[in-house]
Structure 1
Amino acid sequence: MPIRIPDNLPARKTLEAEGVYVMDSSRAARQDIRPLEFGLLNLMPNKERTETQFTRLIGATPLQINLSLVRITEHQSKHTSEEYLTSFYQTWEEVKERKFDGFIVTGAPIANIPFEDVRYWPEMLEIMEWTRTNVHHTMFICWGAQAALHHFHGARRYRMDNKAFGVFRHQIVKPGSPWLRGLSDSPMIPVSRYNDIDRASIGDDLDVLIDNADLGLCMLERKDGRAVYFLNHLEYDNRSLADEYERDIAAGLDTPPPANLFPDGDTSQEPENRWRSHAHLLFQNWINEIYQTTPYRLDEIGN
């Protein structure tokens, strides 16, 4: 069974062209099952691209999923029209009374700003606390992961000497983890970040699942089984890092090409996607575990 998203969402055409089966509202209403309720808190400027990346992975499941697109209540987007947001997104204030089986908090391009100086940080604190009671399992990505590790676990973030930028081999630390079922021992994973988490600040309430000794932590799990933290970007499409590199060059920055992305390092060639299968495995494992463990009644989530 497919993912259910708003009927006119632009991502729909992209997904259908890629063979992802998208269900419309009328057919979904005829399904005599309880679909999983997922939410995506999209903090990225390019809402359409980010929602396409995540719905591509969520929509590959055989389960029926209702996906709600969520945005910060008071934040005004500079890159996405208010008409688009009103048509396809709900504010957190509008969904905070609901329960979700799965919830994703994306990254945000605010790596240089201390958490407490982010304008919507007070609402982020409310949202993170809300996931404890209204969400069965949460996946925090990139800046979202850094913020949640800081808030829930007191993890310390620090600025690296150089930006980690490219596609790098990582090591599976916990091969028996259900989230990592089927992943190879050393998957290639896209990385684009200036910050890392101080390993000395990671306490006993966290398990490291994926690591890179040179670039830093990649994926951690909360031992109570309610959240995972993914600091990098398996959701990226093959152009994400390339477009970021081209924007930096156009802005006059001396950013080096992303490592291990272009064939033979030739930036004139189309980038190779060397992580797609791992992205699908991770998300299918995540969805399957949620399906196996979430209460049948939504109102029992958090109890």
Structure 2
Amino acid sequence: MPINVSKELPASDALKQEKIFVMDEDRAQTQDIRPLNILILNLMPEKERTELQLLRLLGNTPLQVNISFLRTATHRPTHVSPHHLDNFYTTFEEVKNRRFDGLIITGAPVEQIAFEDVTYWDELTTIMDWAAANVTSTLHICWGAQAGLYYHYGVRKYELPGKCFGIYEHQIADPTVKLVRGFDDIFHAPHSRFTSVSREAIEANPDLTLLSVSEQGAPFIIMSNDAKNIMITGHLEYDATTLAEEYERDHERGVDTPIPENYFPNDDINERPPHRWRSHSHLLFSNWLNYYVYQETPFEWD
């Protein structure tokens, strides 16, 4: 949240030069405050797990947030009860005449399928087109980030030689950008994906800014220059044990998935992995909510 100080306070200019969020008294007195309306398009198979992960992060700010969950109408999920979907989810047809302050598009287990071959691709692109005029800022996660980069900016994904699976170090390109304000120069984040996007393609696109890369140089945090779209290629929302559960699930299915890198202490799957990315998860979501949603969204959309 911003610091509210007098414009005449000597420290005010220094704080602004250091990129500390300062709001002068005149602006503060004219602000109207209302709850933020956030729509979550949950494409993950285990919907209740993803709901909890995201709500933990969205609920850890002083802002009041109203949450609506969206599901695809063209694909009926099978890993969640119909009762849960009917009671807590809506379809695009039911919200298309509303406006939202923020939208989150999650990952999905379809990354090895061509975008146009995904059963709900046309529905997703309709939602992304609608969001351009009816949502202040959209946060795309993992496959959702790849879909946003491809559809909006023509950045294609490519298949990796092996699954990117584990906890990796990342670097910040510019710590003064509001989205990564408060981040350490080097921080950790989980990844679980078979595909990636080209760093060269992102850096060559005049509409995109690359804010963070992994230790291997792969793009991690990408933002459109108008801040309408923010893409996170990994899973900062994951719990400490999520990768362990994915690893166990793959092996139960007979899938030869390697042990997640840099995850289990001593690579011992019987050891509980430490949660080394929690603080940056909270920072990312609170920065997005505050700077790119709350501070930018109109009090009355009309």
Which position in structure 2 is the counterpart of 1:17? none
Which position in structure 2 is the counterpart of 1:90? 90
Shift of residue 262 of structure 1?
A: 1.3
Letter in 1 for 2:224: R
Partner Cα separation in structure 2 for residue 35 and residue 214 of structure 1: 40
Shift of residue 265 of structure 1?
A: 1.7
Which position in structure 1 is the counterpart of 2:297? 294
Letter in 2 for 1:180: V
SS in 1 for 2:295: helix
Partner Cα separation in structure 2 for residue 60 and residue 213 of structure 1: 29
Where does 1:209-224 land on structure 2 (aligned, <5 Å)?
Answer: 209-214=211-216, 216-224=218-226
Q: Cα deviations across residues 115-151 of structure 1 (Å, max 9, x unaligned)?
A: 0001111101101111100100100111111011001
SS in 2 for 1:279: helix
Partner Cα separation in structure 2 for residue 272 and residue 259 of structure 1: 13
Which position in structure 2 is the counterpart of 1:226? 228
Farther-moved stretch of structure 1 (255-264 vs 148-157): 255-264
Q: Is the 8 A contact 1:189 1:275 kept in 2?
A: yes
Which position in structure 1 is the counterpart of 2:245? 243
SS in 1 for 2:246: helix
Partner Cα separation in structure 2 for residue 291 and residue 178 of structure 1: 13
1:270 to 269, 272, 282: 272
Which position in structure 2 is the counterpart of 1:161? 161
Partner Cα separation in structure 2 for residue 133 and residue 88 of structure 1: 25
Partner Cα separation in structure 2 for residue 80 and residue 253 of structure 1: 23
Tell me the TM-score normalised to structure 2 length: 0.86
| 4+ aligned runs moved over 6 Å, structure 1 | none
SS in 2 for 1:293: coil
Partner Cα separation in structure 1 for residue 112 and residue 169 of structure 2: 26
Any stretches of 5+ residues in structure 2 without a counterpart?
1-31
Partner Cα separation in structure 1 for residue 183 and residue 251 of structure 2: 34
Shift of residue 33 of structure 1?
A: 4.8
Shift of residue 264 of structure 1?
A: 2.2
Where does 1:32-47 land on structure 2 (aligned, <5 Å)?
Answer: 33-47=33-47
Shift of residue 293 of structure 1?
A: 1.6
Tell me the TM-score normalised to structure 1 length: 0.86
Q: Cα deviations across residues 164-205 of structure 1 (Å, max 9, x unaligned)?
A: 100000111121110001110111000111111123322111
Partner Cα separation in structure 2 for residue 159 and residue 104 of structure 1: 24
Q: Is the 8 A contact 2:180 2:287 kept in 1?
A: yes
Q: Is the 8 A contact 2:168 2:215 kept in 1?
A: no
Where does 1:47-66 land on structure 2 (aligned, <5 Å)?
Answer: 47-66=47-66
Which position in structure 1 is the counterpart of 2:103? 103
Which position in structure 1 is the counterpart of 2:128? 128
Letter in 1 for 2:297: T
Partner Cα separation in structure 2 for residue 270 and residue 298 of structure 1: 47
Partner Cα separation in structure 1 for residue 258 and residue 113 of structure 2: 23
Identical positions, percent: 48
Which position in structure 2 is the counterpart of 1:11? none
Q: Is the 8 A contact 1:174 1:208 kept in 2?
A: no
Partner Cα separation in structure 2 for residue 127 and residue 248 of structure 1: 31
Number of equivalences: 268
Letter in 2 for 1:108: A
Partner Cα separation in structure 1 for residue 174 and residue 68 of structure 2: 31
Shift of residue 83 of structure 1?
A: 1.1
SS in 2 for 1:298: coil
Where does 1:143-158 land on structure 2 (aligned, <5 Å)?
Answer: 143-158=143-158
